[in-house]
Structure 1
Amino acid sequence: MKQNKLLRAVRVTTCVAAAVTATLAAATISHAATIPNKTLVYCSEGSPAGFDPAQYTTGVDFTANTFPEYNRLVEFARGGTKVEPGLAEKWDVSHDGKTYTFHLRHGVKFQTTSYFKPTREFDADDVVFTFERMLDPNQPFRKAYPVAFPYFSDMGLDKLIKSVEKVDPYTVRFTLNEVSAPFIQNLAMEYASILSAEYADQLLKAGKAADINQYPVGTGPFIFRSYTKDSTIRFDGNPDYWKPDTVKVSKLIFSITTDASVRTQKIKRNECQVMIYPKPQDLATLKSDSNINLLAQAGFNLGYLAYNVQHKPLNNVEVRRALDMAINKHAIVESVYQGAGQPATNPMPPTQWSYDKNLKMPAYDPKKAKALLAKAGFPNGFEIHLWAMPVQRPYNPNGRLMAEMIQSDWAKIGVKATIVTYEWGEYIKRGHAGEQDAYLVGWTGDNGDPDNWLGTLLGCSAINGNNFSKWCYKPFDDLVQKGRTTTDQAQRTKYYEEAQKIFADQIPFSPIAHSTVYQPTTKNVIDMKIDPLGYSRFDGVSMK
């Protein structure tokens, strides 16, 4: 935000929302839209763990379980991080910055499926249900289907939100316990996708609450039809979608293809029209194919190696410094990223405001690293388990190769690393549980706010979620909390720069690299955009 004050920024946002509302007023449709009879096949890289967005944190899940089926009160514009009205036409903020009142869109329909036929349109009850389920451990649906909500808790929203109230059928009031500068940005994230309270009530009465994770119902552009694990997900275009002319294909099929080389072959044979995450070594052949467009942009991401500080000897900061100093990041960028990236020094990418370009991290120095290990009491090194990602992600195109290179680097200082891995869903689950020693993972920004990096990945409230280092350091956490509750961006930047200096001193994880993101499409695909937040979205995409 260019404005320094949150309230000024939100008032501007509200004015913009009002203007956009006039444009979107026509989006309240009273009859089914005609959708072009086109099929788009997307070669995705992995299977979703489920279809309940509030439970998950990965792009694999969100591409499949959020953007086709659901909407949120506010949303990120396609291909960017600007927040625009979603299921809320506009919103107001109280003078003290603690009360947000959302005015909901009329005429929005929940999807009709083989397992649910709505009897009413979207209203305030659905918003209240969605958030009460995450807020209240005693909420009946949550008790019937008890699951964790990692994003909601990692960002401290369970403590921030005091209440969510229905003012009238189309007005909802959120009351916060304190000012939260990134609150609107946070509400645009995937976990905040609005569920149908009527559908949830149907499941609850039938004793099938867990079905919400297998059979989704939302207000989004595509209707879920079927999922064959590790094979395909099928969607139909939603003729009743509240944004007319946004749904431009009648069939959307996810062809789950875990091998990047196979994805490349499929798109070259037109077996899919969009693919994700080509291998760096396949870029040249894709560029030379006359039937393929190769979209590319700098990634808003970070690949890193988390040290579980609850496991000895990783609780020793000198050990972490030695391990970091022994990793040849430039060699990794050349071999793993094939040069399509840059070595990382910070816990956020250079395109994130408040990034400290003057931050000093220890340089690659194996001799000094070995001496530091000896000083820490490990002259002969030690043994450690190094976890390697099983899937290709934008921040890490080859987890196995990266692990092998780190394994080789550490062997030079006497550290013997055994590489282990699991299927992606299990990998993340075990990482949340803290089973790992050193853990390769990464992050693509969710909302354009620094808190999404420092708070979500390193905050004390996130140690059972995306803080895979299990690192809770009060001086750092205090700065993150101050940043959340301060509305002046210049002051927030100062807090975050101080936090980055503490990070560089303590090294709870080793930043490895920021990558360039590529997304190939066949040339008959129109208006596909690379999403800086790391997902693939098909609203607005058409076929020749």
Structure 2
Amino acid sequence: MRTSPTPVRRVLAAAASAAMAVGILAACGSDGDTGGDADSAEDFDFSCPERTDGTPEADTAANESQPFVFGSPGDPTSMDPVLASDGETFRVTRQIYETLVDTDCTDNVPGLAESWDQNPEGTEWTFHLREGVTFSDGTALDGAAVCTNFERWANFKGGFQSPNFTYYYSAIFGGFTENDPAMGIEAESIYQGCEADGLDATISLSKYTSSFPGAFSLSSFSIISPASLEAIADVELPAADSPLPEYSQTAGTLAGTGPYVLTEWDHGEQQVTLTRNENYWGDAAKVKTLIFRTISDETARRQALEAGDIQGYDLAAPADVQPLIDAGFQVPVRGVFNLLYLAYTQGQAPLEDHAVREALSYAVDRERIVNNVLPPGGLVATQFIPPSLEGYSEDVKTYDYDVDKAKDLLAEAGQEDLTLTFCYPTDVSRPYMPAPKDIFDMIASDLEAAGVTVEARPITWVEYIPTTRSGECPLYLLGWTGDFSDPYNFLGTWFAAESTEWGFDNQEVFDSIAAANTEPDEATRVDLWKAANEAVMEELPGLPLSSSPPSIAFAANVYPPDVSPLTQENFAQVYFTTGS
């Protein structure tokens, strides 16, 4: 993997030309020669061009008889989306359940609500629901159904309040109606209630937050049939480390309004089967049967596509993209809307020392990662949000690669013989991290060149998130693909309050994020987000490494979905075509 660096501009142009050759330009992101140097975002185009491949004729017989099988990098965790926080779960649940607000590229667009209003203070949101929508169990969608879901989440108790289960709810709404002290949540919930009036539902908040209306598009806040929720109303999770409830692991328990219904989840075969919802309110899914099959190894995913065992897969390895295109496969590239970082857990000595964190940051050659591991169009990150978001600041403190400076800072801190455990995930690829072991190896060698002894700790993905969130790993790799277009979805996700995951208590940082998040005036809010970015990079809780445009591959006889920079593809758009 350690080839000589290739100029990003030249590679990006070649990749874009290849994408145009197969007629796929649906991604948010660059097309043509719009790249820039690996450490500059100035020339990148984050707009969302229309796809230009037309609508080829569907093979009706194949769509009715042949399942479309998609190779996913990891298993879903729960078929109750409020209990999940991972993209592999949402890839599946997004086909079954729907949200009040949807996204088109990174824009908010109508979902179950055909329109919505807010009061001038941004504390009341009234959603005007579509007429004639029913859940797959036959229950009608109305304002009362929406309120049932919001009231359920707000009144979770016991283990259901643990961030291990309801991460997004506590991250967006702060807390619950009655916080359980055993779950460690102390913040007061901003959710004040929900009122229904026919096809209208009004959500009341105690204060404005810039997360809305985008947060209403989160898959965790999918609207589920009240009738099916009633059947699981008595389920309890007594502790934060309880196993996920059985109902969330089986098919047929919960009903949504989406284009597919869940018919089977075979945990042994690592396969989820969905069947077309024949009573769907919108455009019916073209393919009757949709299967998500877990294939954790990226080489195995490519081989399964080449063999015809699957018809699409995610996170094609950068080295595989051009060979796949040359072989006739379609490889759309998503836009850049993610971030990979190296975290410094300040609860682990000596990472509470700012000089040590600075030294580690100067020791890492991020351009080498971008040029040798990431797909064409990868970008060195300077802050904890991608450059397409408001509040991206050119004035953040940067930490350019300088191994001599790293050595000097370690010496000044008395840490010339520093040894650190470095965690990285195994058996997984993520949109922001296509090759975790390769990235780990590069960073580890950089740190060792600066005099740091690295003790590797590989951890399986299923255990990785709980381990890193608990503060056990001094150094670790992780990242984030944005859920909606607002800086709080990045900065607020990580740094809105003290946590064991980061282990620092800097009230200036917390206050700066809160000030930006609660400012309704757009121009003022942009300036406040810039200030928040600058405060975070002064604190240096970790080193932003890169942003990456991940690729997704499909067979030649498939009409692919519009690819999403949020990885929110709608598989109801997929169909088998004739003449291929």
Asked whether the two chains share a fold, i.e. TM above 0.5, the reply is: yes
RMSD in angstroms over aligned alpha carbons? 2.4
Which one of the candidate residues 519, 523, 527 is aligned to 1:490? 523
- Following superposition, the deviation at residue 217 of structure 1 comes to 2.5
Give the TM-score normalised by structure 2: 0.80
| 1:284 and 2:309 aligned | no
Query: CA 1:183/1:367 → structure 2, altered by over 3 Å: closer, same or farther?
Result: same
User: Of the candidates 254, 276, 292, which is equivalent to residue 237 of structure 1?
Assistant: 276
Aligned position for 1:431 = 468
Q: Distance in 2 between matches of 1:47 and 1:532?
A: 21
TM-score after normalising by structure 1:
0.85
- Relative to structure 1, the CA distance from residue 439 to residue 142 in structure 2 (aligned partners, 3 Å threshold; closer, same or farther) is closer
Letter in 2 for 1:136: N
Conservation of the 8 A alpha-carbon contact between 2:195 and 2:203: no
Among the aligned pairs, what percent are the same residue?
Answer: 29
1:121 to 140, 148, 151: 140
* Equivalent position to 2:91, from 63, 72, 76: 63
> CA separation in 1, counterparts of 2:536 and 2:335?
24
Which runs of no fewer than 5 residues in structure 1 stay unpaired? Answer: 1-34, 113-117
Q: 1:191 Cα shift?
A: 1.3
The reply to whether residue 178 of structure 1 matches residue 192 of structure 2 is no
Matched, 1:407 2:407: no
SS state at 1:502 partner: helix
Q: How does 1:305-344 map to 2 (within 5 A)?
A: 305-337=342-374, 340-344=377-381
Q: State the distance in 1 between where 2:375 and 2:234 align.
A: 54
Contact 2:360-2:447 at 8 Å conserved across structures = yes
* Gap change, CA 1:110 and 1:146, over 3 Å in 2: farther
2:529 aligned partner, one-letter code? Y
CA-CA distance at 1:69 after TM superposition:
0.9
Deviation string, structure 1 residues 11-36 (Cα, Å, up to 9, x no partner): xxxxxxxxxxxxxxxxxxxxxxxx85
Alpha-carbon distance change, 476 to 137 in structure 1, aligned in 2, over 3 angstroms: same
Provide the rounded CA distance (Å) in 2 between the counterparts of 1:67 and 1:447. Answer: 15
Q: Which amino acid aligns with 1:122?
A: L
Greater mean deviation of Cα atoms: 470-479 or 172-181: 470-479
User: What SS is found at the alignment partner of 2:265?
Assistant: strand
1:384 aligns with 2:417: no
8 Å contact kept, 1:133–1:142 = no
For the 8 Å contact 1:388–1:419, the answer to whether it is kept is no
- Does residue 502 of structure 2 align to residue 477 of structure 1? no
1:108 and 1:219 in contact (8 A); partners too: yes
Q: Secondary structure of the equivalent of 1:133?
A: helix
Query: How far does the alpha carbon of each residue in 1:402-447 deviate from its partner, in whole angstroms, 9 at most, with x for none?
Result: 1111111111222211121222121112222222211101111110
**Aligned 8 A contact 2:339 2:480 in 1:** yes
**Equivalent position to 1:41, from 69, 91, 98:** 69
Unmatched segments (≥5 aa) in structure 2:
1-62, 176-187, 238-243
The aligned counterpart of 1:150 is 167
Q: Tell me, what secondary structure is at the counterpart of 2:263?
A: strand
Matched residues in 2 for 1:225 and 1:411: separation?
51
CA distance in 2, matches of 1:187, 1:172: 13
Determine the structure 1 residue equivalent to 2:41. none
- For the structure 1 residues 237 and 505, does the alpha-carbon distance in structure 2 shift closer, same or farther, using more than 3 Å as the test? same
What residue is the counterpart of 2:56 in the other structure? none
2:296 corresponds to 1:258: yes
User: What SS does the corresponding residue of 1:372 show, helix, strand or coil?
Assistant: helix
Deviations 1:131-164 (A, max 9, x none): 223222459x959x99731112123443453322
Give the Cα–Cα distance (whole angstroms) in 2 for the partners of residues 203 and 388 of structure 1: 34
2:37: which partner in 1?
none
Map Cα deviations across residues 44-86 of structure 1 (whole Å, 9 max, x no partner). 111112222122222112112x211100111113xx1221222
- Matching residue's letter, 2:167: P
Distance in 2 (alpha carbons) for counterparts of 1:438 and 1:370:
18
Give distance in 1, aligned partners of 2:393 and 2:236.
Answer: 52
Aligned AA (2:151): E
Size of the aligned set, in residue pairs, is 493
Superposition deviation, residue 128 in structure 1: 2.1
Q: Does 1:508 align with 2:541?
A: yes
Go from structure 1 to structure 2 and tell me whether the alpha carbon gap of 1:389 and 1:359 turns closer, same or farther (over 3 Å shift). farther
Offset at 1:519? 1.2
CA displacement at 1:538 relative to structure 2: 0.4
Distance 1:376 1:528, change over 3 A: same
1:524-539 superposed matches below 5 A? 524-539=557-572
- In the aligned structure 2, how far is the partner of 1:228 from the partner of 1:302? 32
**What is the deviation of 1:358?**
4.2
In structure 2, distance between residues paired with 1:167 and 1:407: 55
**More displaced 10-residue stretch of structure 1: 389-398 or 363-372:** 389-398
1:72 equivalent in structure 2: 99
